[in-house]
Chain A
């Protein structure tokens, strides 16, 4: 029997005790890892240990796959009709909503993000996502395809089976929902690996999945360090995952990877609105968003005006205790903290101007000031690479062609945004940007119903919307001959 972590929150945003099991979740039970390893979970606002959780190893994964396969064969998959799967998913959403504040409190404690944003952003979308896919569970349909009158050809969209899902630390519970909800709706069983940095909300989720009556083995959660295959994370890791899938059993892979998303401010944009959205684009979740709009292209006619207002806006961004009245909190981990500071250093060394910020706060925990670079050139690392911190670069452009060319000059293609009051110009630009998501006069808008995913090296496959079902179904074509003699 594994342990329990209880935390008594006494914060302005939330007061109360939250208890979660700390074991691995396999076959509906919380258990210690076979090797008994544990992993310390750190509070990013002060660098101190919150608790330790069981850390799985290859042996645990092997065991979980067996348990999951059994559930797939016996109680889930084709053995559980869609309207039943729908009920379970809706029930999970209802229970999560009942425990809404507990999720937000754990998320704020573990990731350093503001409680308020965990609530109106992460959890709101997680609930929508579960409910949205609950609706899909009984609507998985194939096609009947006309070939000839003496033949019937039809397709069945069957669940794939055991799916491994590896999620990132920036939106732990929301990304869990993005992965788990469509996979379950389609009838798959799951081995989920949360990030080792942020395992807590997944454990609360596991407890509620049991309360919802989801059959044992359908959802299994293994915390741990190594990436042991739906995946959200860095492109580097994504590449490794794809390699190992290729080397092993050619499992299907979907990857939602990094980005260096451009944000184009035309001279005819509503500048005040563009400034507000741009700030959201760079600083939301401390810049730890894969779609963060970190390359800000501003037309030369409005460059000075934009920069002035954007600077004022950035100065007003409130950073502090996630449970207080703030806009942003701490970076998630020491590793990430050092990585962001390294990039800021490299920007300085390569000759960019630190227009604002550029320093770590002198206190415990992983705090970096919102930072604006100007005078950058296309070859600088801070312009090319994903920083995953509150760091934006501002680039001046002369004409639309130039802006679009520079915006597309990246190996990434996750998202892009354009601001203009001229709809012709906005649409022309949006259509020419090489990205899986193009925002017009907004950024970072995500909906459970609308697909999300990357062009180029930002990923393979699409999450959310009807499109995500494709990641979790295997299509079988059935040919029935009722007259063709050979």
Chain B
């Protein structure tokens, strides 16, 4: 059994314990064979965060001190050279291997066959999910701090939004666990009846991203458990810590061993193993379209496992001349800047009707400037750094390409000095449809603003993408709202608002933004397989025909 490590958080003066190892059968265990290491980095300081190792011979203590409010360049410089920084253990966690996935899948299969799935009532599944929600609520502050350390987002946002919504999501699906119903279908009222059972699919591989580590965990885990599935969860290699912490709560809530298993691993190792595994019945993935495609291919090549994909986007927002520009500019700012733009529904293309273009742009810049991007433990921060060096470099290469391709950068576009993967709000105007910053998903706080003359032109621009995740429109003309909302090609259309999601409203993509729907009653379809039972209680067969 692998032991937990302690992380000292200077900002609070408290310690956080993080379990080490892979979580299989309700225990934290070492990897079977892996030598691969995952480095957990604090994106606000660029320091490697902690050691949570699968191999019990590795050192087990780490001091994490990067949680001081390190907003200013000066302070960050001080921090980088400090004694504390030198003492911060630069350690890593081992990555789960394909063999570890085998062990976890076997555990999940056994639980499905014996203690979960059809072996437990919906009421019991409901009770456990509610219990899990209570525990997550109890530990919200601690989880939020850990999320902030590993992901960079502000603690208050992690706590009040990510975790608050996650607790509600668990409770919402707790309520569904005893409401999984089939249909009875009249075939012939005298001799036959047919009915459907919505059986749990079985063992589910769930691969979640690093932008909302806890919330994506809840979106995946809650409906799967409600339906009676068992889970092998692969958190992102960038942000595995909270998924491990939540695994402790799985035990505390009383779920039987093997129902939820957590294998932190690289996507190319654990993710690939899950999606090509012959004994995994379903794989659910949230992440990039490139990876989603690979997962679907692997599913096709292996056992035709069911696939649900929640992928990227390049979501448009249309600002019409009748819109309340003050409100629309706030929603547009939220759309691109929430979570520092690392959001699959980020409204990264804003098209403004010509007559209000200048007025809107002025307000938008004012709103974008009002947001403080800073350290996660600073109460003033409305956004944190981006999650990783990889992501940081990718965003900056897009900003450079925007400049090179001739777009006009009217806000941001300058790197900060000092440590931390900070990207300030960046707005490009004078964009053209073929520019990379207009076509590609950037996943950072980088907005392209274009203009249109007519409603028709606006719709055409908005739909000119291979993605179809989200779309927004702002207008005070009710008829226009209806026309445009119907014409926009997206799984979610926001009218006079943006980026707000509710646990009871479905979410997912059209076109290359995904397959399937999460949230709402729709998500239950992703975790059930429908069996039609035909029952003859009277017809005698004439044979031969």
Contacts and interface: CB of A to CB of B under 8 A. Distances in A.
Given A83-B503, A424-B537, A482-B481, 14 more contacts: A83-B168, A86-B175, A90-B130, A128-B123, A135-B179, A138-B503, A139-B521, A424-B538, A449-B122, A482-B480, A482-B482, A482-B483, A483-B479, A483-B482
A82 B122 CA distance: 21
B463 interface: no
Given A424-B538, A427-B535, A431-B189, A136 B175 contact: yes
Contacts of A480: 478, 482
A242 to B, nearest CB: 30
A82 B168 CA distance: 11
Contact of A135 (B174, B190, B479, B535): B174
A469 B29 CA distance: 47
Contacts of A152: 482
Nearest 7 CB-CB pairings of A with B: A135-B175, A482-B482, A482-B479, A424-B537, A427-B537, A138-B504, A83-B168
Interface in A112-169: 128, 131-132, 134-139, 141, 149-150, 152
A151 to B, nearest CB: 9
A42 interface: no
30 contacts: A83-B168, A83-B172, A83-B503, A86-B171, A87-B171, A131-B126, A132-B123, A132-B178, A135-B126, A135-B179, A136-B179, A138-B175, A138-B503, A139-B504, A141-B504, A150-B482, A152-B482, A424-B538, A427-B535, A428-B190, A428-B537, A431-B189, A449-B181, A466-B179, A466-B181, A482-B479, A482-B482, A482-B483, A483-B482, A483-B483
Contacts of B481: 482
Contacts of B127: 131
B486 interface: yes
Interface in B173-189: 174-179, 181, 189
A410 B278 CA distance: 58
B376 to A, nearest CB: 27
Given A86-B171, A128-B123, A427-B193, A135 B176 contact: yes
A423 interface: yes
A131 B122 CA distance: 11
Contacts of B193: 427, 431
A152 B480 CA distance: 13
Interface in B493-545: 503-504, 521, 535-538
Contacts of B179: 132, 135-136, 139, 449, 466
B171 A83 contact: yes
B223 to A, nearest CB: 13
Contacts, number: 75
Interface of A: 82-83, 86-87, 90, 128, 131-132, 134-139, 141, 149-150, 152, 423-424, 427-428, 431, 448-449, 466, 480, 482-483
B491 to A, nearest CB: 15
Contacts of B189: 431
Interface in B79-123: 122-123
Contacts of A423: 537
A139 B175 CA distance: 9
A202 B504 CA distance: 33
A139 B173 CA distance: 10
Nearest to B180: A449
A198 B78 CA distance: 74
A90 B504 CA distance: 18
Contacts of B480: 482
Contacts of A82: 504
Contacts of A136: 175, 179
A81 B475 CA distance: 27
A201 to B, nearest CB: 22
B207 to A, nearest CB: 28
B320 to A, nearest CB: 14
Interface string B224-261: 00000000000000000000000000000000000000
A480 B483 CA distance: 12
A199 B461 CA distance: 67
A449 B181 CA distance: 9
A431 B537 CA distance: 11
Contact of A138 (B172, B177, B482, B537): B172
Given A131-B123, A138-B504, A482-B483, A449 B178 contact: yes
Contacts of B483: 482-483
A149 B130 contact: no
B478 A135 contact: no
A344 to B, nearest CB: 40
A468 to B, nearest CB: 12
A136 B177 CA distance: 11
B418 to A, nearest CB: 42
Interface string B455-491: 0000000000000000000000011111100100000
Contacts of A149: 486
Contacts of B172: 83, 138-139
A149 B181 CA distance: 32
A152 B495 CA distance: 15
A135 B178 contact: yes
A21 to B, nearest CB: 29
Nearest to A450: B181
Contacts of B174: 135
A141 B478 CA distance: 23
Contacts of B504: 82, 138-139, 141
Nearest to A429: B537
A331 B481 CA distance: 65
A258 to B, nearest CB: 27
Residue from the set B176, B178, B190, B483 with the largest chain A CB neighbour count within 10 Å: B178
Contacts of A448: 123, 178
Interface string B54-65: 000000000000
A139 B521 CA distance: 8
B538 A428 contact: yes
A90 B168 CA distance: 13
Contacts of A131: 123, 126-127, 178
A132 B176 CA distance: 9
Contacts of B181: 449, 466
